[in-house]
Amino acid sequence: MDEKKCRPCEEPVIEKAPPCPLQCMSPKCKAYQAKAPIDTSKKPIVWVLGGPGSGKGTQCEKIIAKYGFTHLSTGDLLRAEVKSGSDRAKCLTSIMERGELVPNEIVLDLLKEAILARADQSKGFLIDGYPREKSQGIAFEQAIAPVTAIIYFEASSETLTQRLLGRAASSGRADDNEETIKLRLKTFIDNNELVLAQYPDKLRRINAEASVDDIFGEVQKILDPLVAN
Ligand code: AP5
């Protein structure tokens, strides 16, 4: 029989309960899973991914209403940090206005803090807009818990641009302008396939060109069985 190996450290996967003698931190290691701060068999963790304007936030609202999951959007967490006016906030503003990715230590710290603060009450987590690069996914699973499922909303650059330009009049967001939208799209395209390729077994793609309700129909086909388990 083939020996199972950790993806990050390439050491054999330890099947026994903690502590893992190798401290391998692999999401596939049973010992690591047992000591993760979230028990994902009871509280699933779902990453919600897609380009800027693909409808992540729109669908998350519908998911919260039906499933009562805890919604954490990294964009919202970062915008709240910006509003706080801290020194770190000034640097975040300029990165976000350039449509680039904020350093992962900052994003992951904000995310981990928010997850742990809600771990007891939550029925499950919707992590909206994370990971945006391969290393973010690895860092999340090492620091928090293995992801349960990944929903990816797929739409063309033209559709994404039109939606964001449509939203620009009312969103009040500094990054909803033609120039920054182009940069956000570029950042997304540069990283997206590498992120998705990491999770062939957990990834579920949804055509996000359809109507909001039709898309939610597809979302429910993914989440209903997850909740039933
Ligand atoms: P973030 O706030 O996450 O922005 P985004 O990914 O660009 O996505 P949006 O929130 O703009 O769009 P959405 O997909 O939620 O679509 P929505 O539902 O609103 O991130 C902002 C910035 O923060 C990043 O650029 C980066 O700098 C930083 N950041 C965030 N996460 C980070 C991370 N992990 N690491 C590093 N940096 C990070 O819909 C858009 C519009 O379309 C709405 O008007 C809506 O009504 C409409 N719409 C939605 N669905 C449909 C539909 N089916 N048909 C027609 N219209 C629709």
Instruction: Render each residue's pLDDT in the chain as its tens digit; 229 residues.
Output: 466 666 666 666 655 455 566 666 666 777 666 667 788 888 999 999 999 999 999 999 999 999 999 999 999 999 999 998 877 787 898 899 999 999 999 999 999 999 999 998 999 999 999 999 999 999 999 889 999 999 999 999 999 999 999 999 999 899 999 999 999 999 999 999 999 999 999 999 999 999 999 999 999 999 999 998 6
Report the distance separating Cα 134 and Cα 170, nearest Å.
33
Ligand 1 pocket by Cβ (under 6 Å): 50, 52-58, 73-75, 78, 95-96, 99-102, 107, 129-130, 132, 136, 163, 166-167, 175, 184, 211-212, 215
Residue indicated by tokens 């570029």: 186
Beta-carbon contacts of 89 under 8 Å, excluding residues fewer than 6 positions away, are 81, 82, 83
Residue nearest to atom 50 of ligand 1 (CA): 55
Q: Which atom of ligand 1 is nearest to the CA of 214?
A: 53
Residue type, 119: A
Residue 8 contacts residue 23 (beta carbons within 8 Å): no
Report the distance separating Cα 138 and Cα 23, nearest Å.
15
pLDDT at 41: 84
Report the distance separating Cα 24 and Cα 13, nearest Å.
8
Tokens of 91: 């640097």
Q: Which atom of ligand 1 is nearest to the CA of 52?
A: 7
3 state SS of 8: coil
Angle at 100 between CA 148 and CA 128, to 5 degrees: 25
Nearest residue to 106 via CA among 139, 57, 128: 139
* pTM of full prediction above 0.75: yes
pLDDT at 25: 64
Beta-carbon contacts of 217 under 8 Å, excluding residues fewer than 6 positions away, are none
Q: Which atom of ligand 1 is nearest to the CA of 215?
A: 53
Angle at 150 between CA 65 and CA 157, to 5 degrees: 90
Angle at 94 between CA 54 and CA 59, to 5 degrees: 20
Which among 47, 59, 72, 74 is the best mutation to test ligand 1's pocket, defined by most ligand atoms within 8 Å of the CB? 74
Q: Ligand 1 centre and the CA of 184: distance in Å? A: 10
pLDDT at 20: 64
Residue nearest to atom 48 of ligand 1 (CA): 55
Tokens of 52: 């800027």
Residue 153 contacts residue 208 (beta carbons within 8 Å): yes
Q: Ligand 1 centre and the CA of 76: distance in Å? A: 10
pLDDT at 10: 66
Q: Ligand 1 centre and the CA of 214: distance in Å? A: 19
Nearest residue to 124 via CA among 25, 202, 41: 41
Residue nearest to atom 3 of ligand 1 (CA): 75
pLDDT at 19: 58
